[in-house]
Amino acid sequence: MDFNLSKEHLMAQRLFRDFAVHEVEPWAEQTDEEGRFPFEIVQKMQKLGFLGIPFPKSVGGQGCDTLTYILAVEELSKACATTGVILSAHTSLAADAIFLNGSEEQKEQFLRPLLEGKKLGSFALTEAEAGTDAAGQQTKVTADGDEWVINGSKIFITNGEVADTYVVFAMTDKSAGTRGISAFIIEKGVPGFTFGPTEKKMGIRGSSTCELIFENCRIPKTNLLGREGKGFGVAMSTLDGGRIGIGAQALGIAEGALEKTVQYVKERKQFNSPIAKFQNTQFVLAQMKTDIEAARWLVYHAALKKDSGKNFSNEAAMAKLKASQVASDVTRECVQLHGGYGYIQAFQVERMMRDAKITEIYEGTSEVMKMIISGSLLK
């Protein structure tokens, strides 16, 4: 058992840190305030291979592993949680769904451009009436000759309007419940596929979140991902991986806020003394650091388990549950230590506190994580 990162992981971490500090952090405040998708940053990440980190070179990836990808999401999220989730949704959800379930032809046609940075991916499961209850899908698909015809809509879709390639779930047999769900690959530009307005959110405001609308949208039969009626399994196994990504995002947010706060408490003086000299400050910092380290090892462990080929649902759920709680708690404490300055934009921790909340909600709420974890205890 070895808790040390390997030399290649350490160097990758340094690369992501450098990139985050120089290319991401300077834009984080503006990205949040304007709610603008950071196209320039994403283009730079695409050029550097960040969009294909854990996938083999044979399909266009970088030939690294899940831990390396997790380090990327973590370091990016330290600077800007929006950038972190763009990478996470693309990699863990869209690309991994195709990698794990796609045919060789689909990998060549759809996955390679995603991994080589030519296209951005998105994953569409949630509907107005189907959130935690993913089986309540209303979007319908019917077969018509060589084509599928899709009708319905998906909401709260990350990378919504800005992606090129979408993994979309819909009912091929409404009467069959979860066994009636199938997964499809749909590309932007197909007639009948349009977008609703972009949502205005509390946090991760630069991430494009919108509704996908399908009106008699026709796609080739060959765009079925996995087997007909097996979409629920595709969604759930993909989300397991996604949760490690969100765990890493949460971890990064917490670390980013702690870094800012350590700097702040050394400089901020009250009663003629830096507030770092006060025991309350010291105890709060110590608790935050300890919580962050606990979250880190749950997240890294889940990443290693995924790469080991063993079932990692539980580890992913625990990593996301803990890391998202830590992100919310730590950012709130960081705002508190900043006092009034923590409540204004210039000190960034208020943004981090807003960004942290979503990690307890998307890709399975904390309550869903608890259902998974307790389910494995009580089976």
Partner 1 sequence: MNIIVCVKQVPDTTEVRLDPVKGTLIRDGVPSIMNPDDKAGLEAALKLRDESGAHVIVLSMGPRQADDVLREALAMGADEAYLITDPAFSGADTWATSSTLAGAISKLDFDLIITGRQAIDGDTAQVGPEIAEHLQIPHISYCEGFKIEGDEVIAKRQFEDRYQILRAKMPALITALDEMNEPRYMTPGGIFDAYREKEVFVWSRVDVPVEDENIGLKGSPTRVVKTNPKMLKQPGTTIETGVDEAVVFLVDKLKEKYIL
- Residues designated as active site: 363
Burial class (CB in 10 A: 0-12, 13-18, 19+), 317: buried
User: Per CB under 8 A, does 143 bind partner 1?
Assistant: no
Give the single-character DSSP code of 358. Answer: G
Please state, as a whole number, how many other Cβ atoms lie within 10 Å of the Cβ of residue 255.
23
User: Per CB under 8 A, does 182 bind partner 1?
Assistant: no
Residue 1 beta carbon to partner 1: minimum distance, rounded to whole angstroms: 22
User: 33 or 40: whose CB is closer to partner 1?
Assistant: 40
With contact defined as beta carbons under 8 Å apart, do 108 and 99 qualify?
Answer: no
- Which two structure tokens, joined as six digits, stand for 185? 């690959």
Cα(16)–Cα(50) distance, integer angstroms: 9
User: Per CB under 8 A, does 348 bind partner 1?
Assistant: no
User: Per CB under 8 A, does 7 bind partner 1?
Assistant: yes
**Which distant-in-sequence residues (6+ apart) come within 8 Å of 268 by Cβ?**
274, 275, 338, 339, 341
* Contact with partner 1 (CB under 8 A) among 35, 63, 196, 274: 63
Dihedrals φ, ψ of 56, to 5°? Answer: -65, 155
User: Per CB under 8 A, does 11 bind partner 1?
Assistant: yes
Which one-letter amino acid corresponds to residue 34? E
* Contact with partner 1 (CB under 8 A) among 31, 38, 41, 50: 50
Q: Which of the stretches 46-54, 251-259, 325-333, 359-367 binds partner 1 when contact is defined by CB under 8 A? A: 46-54
Residue 68 beta carbon to partner 1: minimum distance, rounded to whole angstroms: 6
* Contact with partner 1 (CB under 8 A) among 25, 35, 49, 268: 49
At 184 the three-state DSSP class reads strand
Q: What angle do CA 277, 351, 27 make, to 5 degrees?
A: 110
User: Per CB under 8 A, does 168 bind partner 1?
Assistant: no
- What own/partner pairs with CB < 8 Å and gap ≥ 24 does 331-337 have? 331/253, 331/254, 331/257, 331/355, 331/356, 332/356, 333/284, 333/287, 333/288, 334/257, 334/258, 334/260, 334/261, 334/288, 336/284, 337/261, 337/264, 337/265, 337/275, 337/281, 337/284, 337/285
User: Per CB under 8 A, does 40 bind partner 1?
Assistant: no
Residue 204 beta carbon to partner 1: minimum distance, rounded to whole angstroms: 23
* Contact with partner 1 (CB under 8 A) among 48, 135, 371, 373: 48
Sequence-ordered strand ranges (E) for the chain: 121-124, 140-144, 147-158, 165-171, 181-187, 193-198, 209-220, 224-225, 269-270, 273-274
Residue 50 beta carbon to partner 1: minimum distance, rounded to whole angstroms: 7
Residue 167 beta carbon to partner 1: minimum distance, rounded to whole angstroms: 23
Cα(93)–Cα(76) distance, integer angstroms: 18
User: Per CB under 8 A, does 70 bind partner 1?
Assistant: no
Q: Which of the stretches 4-12, 26-34, 106-114, 149-157 binds partner 1 when contact is defined by CB under 8 A? A: 4-12
Under rule CB under 8 A, how many of the chain's residues touch partner 1?
20
Q: Is the dihedral of CA 320, 325, 326, 327 positive or negative?
A: positive
User: Per CB under 8 A, does 18 bind partner 1?
Assistant: yes
Residue 240 beta carbon to partner 1: minimum distance, rounded to whole angstroms: 22
User: 47 or 221: whose CB is closer to partner 1?
Assistant: 47
Residue 63 beta carbon to partner 1: minimum distance, rounded to whole angstroms: 5
* Contact with partner 1 (CB under 8 A) among 41, 53, 59, 299: 53
* Contact with partner 1 (CB under 8 A) among 30, 34, 57, 311: 57
* Contact with partner 1 (CB under 8 A) among 8, 34, 40, 129: 8
Residue numbers of the site for partner 1 (CB under 8 A)?
6-8, 11-12, 15, 18-19, 48-50, 52-53, 57, 61-64, 68, 72
